[in-house]
Amino acid sequence: MKLSENFSLAEFTRTGRDLENVPNAAQINAMMELCDNVLELVREHFRKPIIITSGFRSAAVNRAVGGSQTSQHSLGEAADFHIVGVANSDIWQFIVNNCCFDQCIAEKLDKKNGAKGWIHLSYKPRGNRHQELSYVNGKYLKGLVFEK
């Protein structure tokens, strides 16, 4: 099933765990909104495929990976990703400057190695907070911050 022009349900539900990871209709709709409203814009801008490393997470998958009990992944509203050959800091900058989103988090980015880390991106149909954050050394910080 396609969620949008360039994204499939299979890539959003892939997991390395031997656990059921099947979204309901509301969660699928949330993934479609995320794709249509943000991820397609990112893909169009960089003209390269986006590699989803963590999309939808069932409650069992979310527990197994140590996700937050309030994780937007479990609602279908979030994805962790990177783009091969593009610095994650460049992806983060594009999103915060050009897109509507709930959270854009640069996770574990290293200034010396743009490929290290990933982007966590969430989108809600209503009430997006436009939170621009970095996750560094176990803490959430405002803005783009690199690990040392």
What is the value of pTM for the model shown? 0.95
34 lies in a domain? yes
Question: Which of the four pLDDT bands, split at 50, 70 and 90, describes residue 147?
Answer: confident
Residue range 87-116: mean pLDDT, rounded: 91
Strand 103-107, strand 131-136: pairing = parallel
The answer to whether residue 40 is domain-embedded is yes
- Percentage of the residues of the chain whose pLDDT score is greater than 90: 90
**Predicted local distance difference test score (pLDDT) of residue 111:** 78
Tokens of 87: 């610095």
Q: Once rounded to an integer, what is the mean pLDDT over residues 46-61?
A: 97
Decide if pLDDT at 113 tops 70: no
pLDDT in tens, 3-12: 999 999 999 9
Confidence of residue 110 (pLDDT cuts 50, 70, 90): confident
Please state, in angstroms and rounded to a whole number, the distance separating the CA atoms of residues 145 and 148.
9
Is pLDDT at 131 greater than 80 in this prediction?
yes
pLDDT confidence of 20, banded at 50, 70, 90? Answer: very high
What's the number of domains the chain is made of? 1
Residue 30: inside a domain: yes
Range of the domain at 138: 9-142
- Determine the Cα–Cα distance for residues 74 and 21; give it in Å rounded to an integer: 10
Strand ranges (E), 5-130 = 51-54, 78-82, 103-107, 118-122
Residues 24-46: tens digit of each pLDDT: 999 999 999 999 999 999 999 99
CATH number at residue 14: 3.30.1380.10
Residues 85 and 123: their CA atoms lie apart, in Å, by: 25
CA 67, CA 120: separation in Å to the nearest integer?
A: 13
